[in-house]
């Protein structure tokens, strides 16, 4: 118990300083701010010029622009072409995805950053898909929430690598959810550490709630629908092959889950949703996400 308390205090002290956690690429913040404007005020060439300032980001964006996950079936061979073909919303999604990749440390204590990013990207895509199909507002916001929900894992990897490594090994060897192993070993979970960083970085309240409560959506207060959506997508990915690198040894009944009940209150379309078709689509997502992330990670 004392060790858990010490770990939590150490985390708080280190997050306070934020000395070790890298930031997203410098070009990304002004790009995302620019893309927040009404679409009629955006200029294709200016967006292209923003992306071109970071060669690695440009290469990664072009790789993703050519993926069927983003609706592309014909080859795009220029940044401007990618911006025109994809549209500004997808450019924003892709830029944030690539920025997240930059924040991950190398492989530590068995935790593979490629696997982490596969899970995050898969969850983002599934969130967007669900939001569109059950008539929720702003699928783009749902995508971003899914992408960022495990921000706290990055925090724990950077600030408490040995202690987090022990928690991850316990989770993998016992087939238990990672957040439960973190609670046992560290005395807190990536939800808490991620929430601290999300608040410090000035994330929108809805995103802070997603990062903080995605494993316990019933604790969210003002953004329950978005939190529950991410919770369901995260659960589907973890049980469907886009997990943290190991299989959780427990059965999950989605329709009895607290997050499902909360989401059903917000969307009557959820009751009519074709879950069998989603399972089939998730399998195709998995193959393309694996291929895409490995390609980008080598870029």
Q: What is the pLDDT of residues 177-232, one digit of tens each?
A: 999 999 999 888 999 989 988 887 778 888 899 999 999 999 998 889 999 999 99
- CA 143 – CA 93 distance, rounded (Å): 7
Is 111 in contact with 157 (CB distance < 8 Å)? yes
Residue 1 falls within a domain, yes or no? no
> Which CATH number goes with the domain that contains 148?
1.10.3210.10
At residue 24, the pLDDT reads 61
Domain total of the chain:
2
Residue 224 falls within a domain, yes or no? yes
Residue 39 falls within a domain, yes or no? yes
Q: What are phi and psi of 108, to 5 degrees?
A: -135, 130
Assess whether pLDDT exceeds 70 at residue 267: yes
At residue 157, the pLDDT reads 86
Residue 7 falls within a domain, yes or no? no
Residues 98 and 111 placed together within one structural domain of the fold: no
Assess whether pLDDT exceeds 60 at residue 168: yes
Assess whether pLDDT exceeds 80 at residue 13: no
Residues 89 and 117 placed together within one structural domain of the fold: no
Residues 167 and 277 placed together within one structural domain of the fold: yes
Residue 273 falls within a domain, yes or no? yes
Residue 183 falls within a domain, yes or no? yes
Domain closes at, from 83, 103, 123: 103
Residues 140 and 272 placed together within one structural domain of the fold: yes
- CA 98 – CA 293 distance, rounded (Å): 10
Assess whether pLDDT exceeds 70 at residue 58: yes
- At 72, the pLDDT band (50, 70, 90 cuts) reads low
Burial of 174 (0-12, 13-18, 19+ CB in 10 A): middle
In the chain, the N- to C-terminal Cα span, in Å, equals: 43
Q: Which percentage of the chain shows pLDDT scores above 70?
A: 85
Residues 151 and 237 placed together within one structural domain of the fold: yes
| Matching residue, tokens 């930059």 | 102
Domain with 22 in it: 15-103
Cα angle at 242 between 20 and 87, to 5 degrees?
Answer: 80
At residue 253, the pLDDT reads 81
Residue 3 falls within a domain, yes or no? no
Residues 179 and 79 placed together within one structural domain of the fold: no
Residues 145 and 237 placed together within one structural domain of the fold: yes
Residue 38 falls within a domain, yes or no? yes
- Residues with Cβ < 8 Å from 224, sequence gap 6 or more? 217, 262, 266
Average per-residue pLDDT in the chain?
A: 81
Domain closes at, from 68, 103, 138: 103
Residues 78 and 127 placed together within one structural domain of the fold: no
Please give the residue that has the higher pLDDT: either 285 or 241. 241
- CA 24 – CA 69 distance, rounded (Å): 23
What the block records as the tokens of 111 is 């935790």
């Amino acid at each position: 118990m004392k060790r858990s308390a010490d770990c939590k205090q150490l985390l708080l002290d280190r997050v306070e300083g934020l000395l070790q956690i890298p930031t997203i690429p410098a070009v990304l913040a002004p790009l995302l701010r620019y893309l927040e404007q009404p679409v009629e005020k955006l200029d294709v060439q200016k967006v292209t010029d923003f992306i071109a300032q970071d060669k690695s980001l440009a290469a990664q964006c072009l790789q993703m622009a050519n993926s069927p996950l983003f609706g592309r079936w014909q080859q795009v061979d220029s940044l401007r072409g990618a911006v025109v073909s994809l549209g500004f919303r997808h450019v924003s999604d892709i830029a944030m995805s690539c920025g997240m990749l930059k924040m991950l440390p190398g492989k530590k204590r068995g935790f593979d950053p490629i696997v982490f990013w596969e899970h995050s990207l898969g969850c983002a895509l599934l969130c967007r898909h669900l939001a569109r199909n059950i008539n929720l507002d702003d699928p783009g916001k749902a995508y971003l929430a899914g992408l960022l929900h495990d921000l706290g894992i990055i925090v724990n990897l950077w600030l408490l690598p040995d202690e987090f490594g022990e928690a991850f090994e316990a989770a993998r060897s016992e087939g238990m959810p990672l957040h439960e192993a973190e609670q046992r070993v560290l005395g807190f979970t990536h939800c808490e550490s991620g929430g601290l960083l999300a608040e410090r970085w000035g994330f929108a309240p809805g995103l802070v709630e997603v990062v903080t409560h995605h494993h316990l959506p019933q604790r969210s207060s003002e953004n329950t629908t978005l939190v529950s959506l991410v919770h369901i997508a995260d659960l589907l990915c973890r049980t469907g092959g886009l997990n943290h690198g190991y299989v959780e040894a427990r059965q999950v009944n989605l329709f009895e889950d607290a997050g499902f009940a909360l989401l059903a209150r917000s969307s009557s379309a959820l009751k009519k949703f074709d879950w069998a078709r989603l399972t089939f689509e998730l399998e195709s997502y998995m193959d393309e996400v694996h291929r895409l992330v490995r390609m980008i990670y080598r870029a």
